[in-house]
Amino acid sequence: MKIEIGDKITLAEEVTDELTAARWGSGSLPVYATPAMVLLVEKAAVKLLEGKLDDGMTTVGTNLNISHVSATPVGCNVTCQCHLTEINRKKLEFQVEIMDDKGRVGIGTHERYIVAADSFLDNAKQKLN
């Protein structure tokens, strides 16, 4: 495993019609949807860990605590700054800040756990029985 506290990444996307609250069903307005912002946070954490875990290992998201503090219209860009702040055995915690061209859009934390991909899937499939 090659992850370290202090690892950082910034991921960006443009707010399009497909990423609005009206389109996602999380509201009625054509502004950046909270679920789209949450997905950007998870994508950033996954990208930060890419290539840094042992073979056969992956991470799963287990907790998000994010405040969406400002609306962003279609056509603006948003960036997610994701910073690994804690490693506690298999638990990873990230501080995240989402910005648009005018300032802060969101802020919070994201938690992921390192798991063995095969056994995690096997356990999930047990729910089918």
On the question of pLDDT at 112 being above 80, the answer is yes
Percent of the chain with pLDDT over 90: 98
Describe the strand order of the beta sheet including 77-88 as a list of residue ranges.
8-14, 77-88, 91-100, 103-116, 57-68
Q: How far apart are CA 102 and CA 100, in angstroms?
A: 5
Instruction: Give the CATH number of the domain where residue 15 resides.
Output: 3.10.129.10
User: Is residue 65 in a domain?
Assistant: yes
Residue 103 annotated as part of some ligand binding site? no
Look at the block and give the residue holding tokens 């996307």: 13
Predicted local confidence at residue 74, as pLDDT: 98
In a domain, residue 35? The reply is yes
Active site residue 68: yes
Asked if residue 1 belongs to a domain, the reply is no
Of 68, 72, 83, 111, which residue is the catalytic one?
Answer: 68
Instruction: Confirm whether residue 89 is marked as ligand binding.
Output: no
CB 6 within 8 A of CB 45: no
Q: Which of 14, 18, 20, 42 is catalytic?
A: 42
pLDDT at 47: 98
pLDDT digits (tens, 9 = 90+) for 22-66: 999 999 999 999 999 999 999 999 999 999 999 999 999 999 999
**In the annotation, is 42 catalytic?**
yes
- Number of structural domains in the chain: 1
pTM equals 0.94
Tell me the residue range of the domain where 120 lies.
8-128
How far is residue 26 CA from its own chain's centroid?
A: 18
Could you tell me the sign of the dihedral formed by the alpha carbons of 16, 20, 24, 25, in that order? negative
